[in-house]
Structure 1
């Protein structure tokens, strides 16, 4: 309670009426030129909130004023507030009331199907809405998000899928989905961080994974692979970047007690330097729409080996790494060791060139703005 109060969180939601919400938004955007609304499900240190911030900065540089709707708060909230007004829906705001305060035709990027529920009221308030669907089809179905997406589309919002696999898998219920491949903004990492990590490297191979460690991210499979790699390369080291849930922490404690050389720094600001100091990224996810972390690793020359499960980038990563069947953990381990032995300076340079050519962020922003512009022209 004390910490939450210091961060301006409410102890419980206070239901705000539609007129109150409209008045609050009107006050917050007074004097804003060319506002654009960006919605995200929360402000946690994770892919979608970070992408929302990246989009906001890019749009701000082009003359837009970001305004944010967040389902819940989180540790990145100060970064959102530094860019523009923020409304946290868990605090009781009325979505339709907030939307009606914005000029009709205002553009809105609803960044992830997990917050698609705001699409219909915003579109009905006259906003020009794109819903960016970063999740895999199975996750969208399992989480009951199809209804929100369908309702948003019926109200006039356009649905944009990030992965071709999502378009194909949802063709029966959401026919005609568009696909726009997201771009990547690399985390800002000082040169000193790279130098420090490389100075501290030992001769032994280093294998890295990242994300919120849970069953969907395959943290147990990561530890299984680490144990198998250690049997063939006893000096190998392992790093997992990201927070661990209780299940993952129990598994990690057991692995550490058994002697696994495992580092668990949590969420870090120098992730690129850590990827550069590794030899191979172990992608053990059972389901993952991106993942951005694999691309970040490749951007500094570190390849990946992954299980060909429900992974959005499966089929889109030629030259960046290798997928193996999920039922072949032995092949996964052998491939990881083979890749680690082949990582040379020339290999890393080629990989960096590949990523620069494929993942530009400015073209992604251009593609989204183009669709927003076409939607406005059609409405007019």
Structure 2
């Protein structure tokens, strides 16, 4: 089976985050099962005049140089004439076209091309498609988004709320058949829970300060300011604690976070590590004691799954798509945070609970088991292959029906 995954953007610093990581993970898993999967995307931020990479994390990719034609709209305003010109040929060569859809100048045109070429089309929205009051977005909906949502062979959702939000874009008309597909990650060895947090470490007399980690894009939507304002609460009990902020600085926000920490008198405790390669991310996760993702709106964070995959307890907002699973498993702490409030103290108290050695060890075991049992990429790929098979069969049946 030839599968074409289409996502908007790949950069050396992984600025686009989740959708690209999901496309790569799924493609790698499909290829491990003998399927021919390739990822098509824009490439941006690569230095030098040489060609763009042909492989990312072991997955064949076709990257086209991004052109920033509408800078005001950021990632939604980039495109590639070469990619769009070749879309028909790439789509016709695939048995399934899997588009990681957003309102942009790449994924939506390719999805429309798949419809025009009558290829089986699977859409995955990653929580990015819901009703909007923005006029430009509404125009995009009229010009093509509603059409692909209605005529695709399948629309994948992470949560029931995402399914309802996406269906509302085309209401009162029905959306294409919906299937649930969660995110998954590769299984990892569980990290060592080393002695008492903030106390005796692995060796006699060794003292290890607790480390609290944030690894995600540094942008307003992820609320890194709540991570920073949690620092004073934690330092009251653990004055030697270290806080690491890591990830692409897509909104030039990292310096603001460092300045905020200095203003709170805790600048000495905060490090900005910048964007990290995947291996570096896993290494940081293994050496930390608690992972924090303060996002109030977070459909199904891959970063949280990766933290739990090594047995790192997590602190997340109750509104996140993974939060019910975290709470039920006891894999960390779920806080009642709000988008219009400073949630730092709530997060700080949750971190303090998880720095208790017994609580940390219990949450670590629960987090690792949760991923092993429910969120491995192998299980997700098995589900996806079943969806593909059904989609191809149903699509072929519809193509054989006589025109009305």
TM range (shorter): 0.7 to 0.9
Q: The residue matched to 1:289 in structure 2 has which SS? A: coil
SS class of match (1:38): strand
Structure 2-normalised TM-score?
Answer: 0.73
Matches within 5 A, 1:219-368: 219-244=224-249, 245-256=251-262, 258-260=265-267, 261-268=269-276, 269-309=279-319, 311-317=320-326, 318=328, 319-327=330-338, 329-341=344-356, 342-345=358-361, 347-368=363-384
Distance, in Å, in 1 between the alignment partners of 2:180 and 2:226 is 31
SS in 2 for 1:203: coil
Shift of the alpha carbon at 1:343? 4.1
- How many residue pairs match? The answer is 341
- Deviations, residues 316-375 of structure 1 (Å, cap 9, x unaligned): 322222222115643332221011114454542343122200112122112222222212
Q: CA deviation at 1:74?
A: 4.9
Q: Which moved more, 1:171-180 or 1:329-338?
A: 171-180
Query: Is structure 2 residue 62 aligned with structure 1 residue 86?
Result: yes
Distance 1:242 1:141, change over 3 A: farther
Q: Distance in 1 between matches of 2:333 and 2:149?
A: 36
Quote the offset at 1:138 in angstroms: 5.3
Q: CA RMSD in A?
A: 3.3
Offset of 1:37 from its aligned partner?
0.9
Deviation digits for residues 13-71 of structure 1 (CA, Å, limit 9, x no counterpart): xxxxxxxxxxxxxxxxxxxxx43211011113122222222222222222233333214
Q: 1:270 to 1:124 in 2, by over 3 A?
A: same
- Tell me the secondary structure at the aligned position of residue 68 of structure 1: strand
SS at match of 1:53: helix
Structure 1: unaligned runs, 5 residues or longer: 1-33
Residue aligning to 2:181: 180
Query: What are structure 2's unaligned runs of at least 5 residues?
Result: 47-51, 67-78, 195-200, 397-404
Q: Compute the TM-score of the two structures, normalised by the length of structure 1.
A: 0.77
Match of 2:96 among 107, 126, 136: 107
- Offset of residue 104 of structure 1: 6.9
Aligned partner of 2:162 in structure 1 is 166
Corresponding position of 1:43: 10
2:116 is aligned to 124
**What is the CA distance between 1:132 and its match in structure 2?**
1.0
Deviation at 1:105, TM superposition (A): 6.5
Report the CA distance between 1:183 and its aligned residue.
Answer: 1.7
